[in-house]
Amino acid sequence: MEFFLTVCVTSLTLGLLYSLFALGLNLVLRTSGQLNLAHGDSLMLATYVGLGTSSVVGFSGLAILAAVATGAAIGTLAHLAVYSPVASRRRAGMAGVGFLPALGVALIVRNVAVRADPEGSSPFPSLFPGHPVNLFGDYRLPAAGWWLVAAGIAVPVAVALVLRYTTVGRRIRAVADEPVLARLNGLPVTRTLAAAYALAGVVGGLAGVLFASFFGQIFVALGWQATLKGFVAAVLGGVGWVRGALLGGLALGVVESFVSGYLSTRFRDVATFALLIGVLLLVPRGVLAGGRLRSV
């Protein structure tokens, strides 16, 4: 029983992390139509900034803010300096190369992180207050785990509220739904897209510090892992700004944890990607999020 419960808790914590990774990717993917391959590396670098801030000022709240602000800044800057100018010069027949600028940004961000941490990994203090709490048997979930569960639920809800009830949120949805019409109606499309990248960066920066606080480490390779896991979760979840990311992330966490626990770790990635291919072939809009294309 204790083993089963451990697998369930692991499914939940990993799943919520994957959801947060996917949420940032979804925001940009839905708004601009682009897969932001730099999302994971941006949140990784933002987490390093959080670590640096924590070690300099010793105040966890400021470190979390620094990470979140850095995530937003990288996303906004990359959009305004690279993605938007490149997109405005794009011509017919170039649809297949749209991901390349993001790949370039990802490599630059990753190399900045390598310069900052040549060892490739660093211990990370828990930036979230509290003590480990016994869950069942001998299992103690650290404080960052509780914060992760709370944020994993609260952040998607907050993003959904922003998208539904704020001016910038409504603009993001309008640009996502009909970019040409939005422009003709005078909406500032470039600024709105920048806001979407910034919001994705905020979610990413928070996801990064939650990840690093929960595992006690930050490492450069997190960047690519976060992009990959987030992308798989987004595809599994399918349509929807928030619900798809949340359900897709949880589904990925459940599949990974239960396959590792009851079959073997060696089958985990096989099972995950078999499921992904199956979803793409059979229900390309995502198996978990239902059929509504515009759901929030």
Partner 1 sequence: MKRWRLALPALALTLALAAGACSDSKDTTGGGTEAKTVTIALGGPFSGGSKSTGDNIRYGAQLAAAEVNNAGGIADGPQKGAQIVFKEFDDAGVPANGASNIRTIIDDKDLVAFVGSGLSDVSVAMAPTASREAFPFLSAYASSEKILEAAVDAKSVFVVPPTFPAYAFSVTDELLKAGYTRPGILHATGTYGDGIAALVVDRLKDKSVTPVGNESFTFADTDFRVQLAKIKEATPDSLVVVGLANIDALILTQADELGLKVPFYDPGGITNNDTFITAAGPLAEGVVGNTPTMSGRDTPATKALVDRYTAATGQSVIPDPAVFAYEGVRAVAAAFAAGASGRADLSGYLHQIDIADTGVGPLRFAEDGSRIGGRLYVFKITDGKPVFFQGYEQTGPKAVREIPLAG
Where along the sequence are the contacts to partner 1 (CB under 8 A)?
Answer: 2-3, 6-7, 9-10, 13-14, 86, 89-94, 97, 100-101, 103-105, 107-108, 110-111, 114, 118-121, 123, 132, 137-142, 211, 215-217, 219-221, 225, 257, 260-261, 264-266, 269
The least CB distance from residue 35 to partner 1, in Å, is: 14
The least CB distance from residue 239 to partner 1, in Å, is: 28
Pick between residue 197 and residue 241 the one whose CB is nearest to partner 1. 197
Pick between residue 111 and residue 166 the one whose CB is nearest to partner 1. 111
Q: Are strands 217-219 and 139-141 parallel, antiparallel or unpaired?
A: unpaired
The least CB distance from residue 139 to partner 1, in Å, is: 6
Q: How many CB atoms lie within 10 A of CB 168?
A: 15
**Measured at the alpha carbon of residue 208, what is the angle toward residues 202 and 209, in degrees to the nearest 5?**
95
The least CB distance from residue 123 to partner 1, in Å, is: 5
For 206, the token pair is 């928070």
Look at residue 186 and give its three-state secondary structure.
coil
Pick between residue 97 and residue 274 the one whose CB is nearest to partner 1. 97
Residue whose entry in the numeric block shows the structure tokens 């499309």: 189
Cα–Cα dist 109/166, whole Å: 31
The least CB distance from residue 95 to partner 1, in Å, is: 11
Cα–Cα dist 17/230, whole Å: 9
Pick between residue 185 and residue 266 the one whose CB is nearest to partner 1. 266
Cα–Cα dist 62/68, whole Å: 10
